[in-house]
Structure 1
Amino acid sequence: MTPKTIVVLPTYNERENIGGIINKILGLKIKNLSILIVDDNSPDGTWEIAQELSKKQPRLNLLLRKGKRGRGLAGIEGFRYCLNHGADVIIEMDADFSHDPQYIPLFLEKIKKYDLVLGSRAVKGGKDVGRSFFRRLITKLANSYTRITLGMRIRDCNSGYRCFRRKVLESINLGNIVSEGPSIVQEILYEAYTKRFNIAEVPIIFRNRTMGKTKLRNKDLIISYITIPRLRRKND
């Protein structure tokens, strides 16, 4: 029996990308796969575009949130939806094409043997393309900081492109997440790591967005770095 797979796409002001990313994912023609758009009431019309597409595509589901509450929390609500709707496998990815849908079949093959699969820029074959040297340096430093602080033997702790077996998310108390910003990504990973789930990293080429604007602010990064040590104390 083919596992039920839901791809979670958190969105905010992605009108330039939303149609293309949906079509590319569904164009993979993967059996029993659907998409969940979790939108923060985008003022640019992302939600309306998704609504129109959903009228013609039964494999596209929508979840509208009131106000801009952030990608991390959007992912959490998406996970709850997936668990409540019987998903066996849950994939979370960005909607701006920085995470290429071409890797989804690889994730689904790998998840047969692992509990959590990460799209990694830091393993052999992985790359970070199109971003400035400064941005890439910040990412590497942040990754090293997370690995050392949390003691995780994971090469790319900051990857938001990941594939979960249902049991991983079921084991995590999603209502007890202490992070509010980007560090939600690391917190979910750390929860899975400390519960000793089998985690694999597969190489991906991360490409900087070519359309739309990044939503990540320096303020969010600072809050994220401050939160990381709290995750260690939370599980001590």
Structure 2
Amino acid sequence: MVVPTYDEAENIAWIIGRIRSAQPAVHVLVVDDSSPDGTGQIADGIAASDEHVHVLHRTAKGGLGAAYLHGFAWALEHGFDVIGEMDADGSHQPEQLHLLLDALDRADLVIGSRWVPGGSVVNWPRRREALSRGGNLYVRLLLGISVRDATAGYRLYKRETLEQIDLAGVRSTGYVFQTDLVARTLAAGLRVVEVPIEFVERERGDSKMSGAVAAESLRRITRWGIAQRRAQVRRAVRELAGRGSDR
């Protein structure tokens, strides 16, 4: 499991312990963006006594997507066949990881979803829930996909999935990264399966999500959607022109 961190000193030992207890065979890769609160050093201490825990230190805060890309590259290089994502703040419960693992036999990407039947959120204000639901509806309509929680960050990818979706071409570094990889997976003709999870709002530390971050994500998705629709129109025009020339 790739776990990106920035100022998660209050949570990192706690979440690693929960992952290792829930799934003892799973390896944990902490990708720390030079946290000034010492998160990376805490992770180093854990890794020194647990061969299933690994740490990557990045020299600057480069965004969620950039941290995941770094972690994916490390995991692929080291031969892992299943590569996952999980937040460090406990909102993604390690005790539910088995639900995602069980779905891997019928999927190329498994998403722990808040917005499929059986999924839920805990301790979210109504405004934040409405924003997430509305944002995901916007993604579905604009990008023409059926995934109900394309912004979710609790995931498992098969190795072959990451090898097929051109990670080198990914330019999204913020939270929109999650939607980007869902769209790339579907465009490659691969299978995405959502399983319901209970998402729990963090109890300690500060959330990295803000109104500005959400707005930037929506702007990027809008640009992708418009570009996709334009490409569809051009293809349709070419097909009509081709049919006309055959008459």
> For the aligned residues, what is the CA RMSD?
1.4
Opposite residue 15 of structure 2, the aligned amino acid is I
1:11 aligned to 2:10? no
Equivalent of 2:105 in 112, 116, 134: 112
CA distance in 1, matches of 2:114, 2:215: 22
CA distance in 2, matches of 1:24, 1:180: 27
Opposite residue 224 of structure 2, the aligned amino acid is L
Query: What do residues 6-29 of structure 1 show as CA deviations (whole Å, max 9, x unaligned)?
Result: x00011111111001101111124
Query: Match of 2:238?
Result: none
Query: Match of 1:168?
Result: 161
Query: Match of 1:4?
Result: none
CA distance in 2, matches of 1:181, 1:105: 27
Query: Match of 1:206?
Result: 199
Tell me the TM-score normalised to structure 1 length. Answer: 0.93
**SS of aligned partner of 1:158:** coil
- More deviation in 213-222 or 136-145? 213-222
1:147 aligned to 2:140? yes
Show the 5 A alignment for 1:1-236. 7-31=1-25, 33-232=26-225, 233=227, 236=231
**SS of aligned partner of 1:112:** helix
Identity %: 37
Displacement, 1:217? 2.4
Displacement, 1:234? 6.5
Aligned residue-pair number: 229
Opposite residue 230 of structure 1, the aligned amino acid is R
Q: Do the aligned partners of 2:64 and 2:173 also contact (CA within 8 Å) in 1? A: no
Provide structure 1 residue ranges, at least 5 long, that are not aligned to the other structure. Answer: 1-6
**SS of aligned partner of 2:203:** coil
CA distance in 2, matches of 1:18, 1:133: 28
CA distance in 2, matches of 1:10, 1:120: 19
Moved over 6 A (4+): none
Displacement, 1:128? 1.3
Displacement, 1:188? 0.5
**SS of aligned partner of 1:16:** coil
Displacement, 1:228? 0.7
CA distance in 1, matches of 2:141, 2:192: 18
- More deviation in 90-99 or 215-224? 215-224
Task: Determine which structure has more spread, i.e. the larger CA radius of gyration.
Answer: 2
Tell me the TM-score normalised to structure 2 length. Answer: 0.89
CA distance in 1, matches of 2:55, 2:78: 13
Q: Do the aligned partners of 1:40 and 1:67 also contact (CA within 8 Å) in 2? A: yes
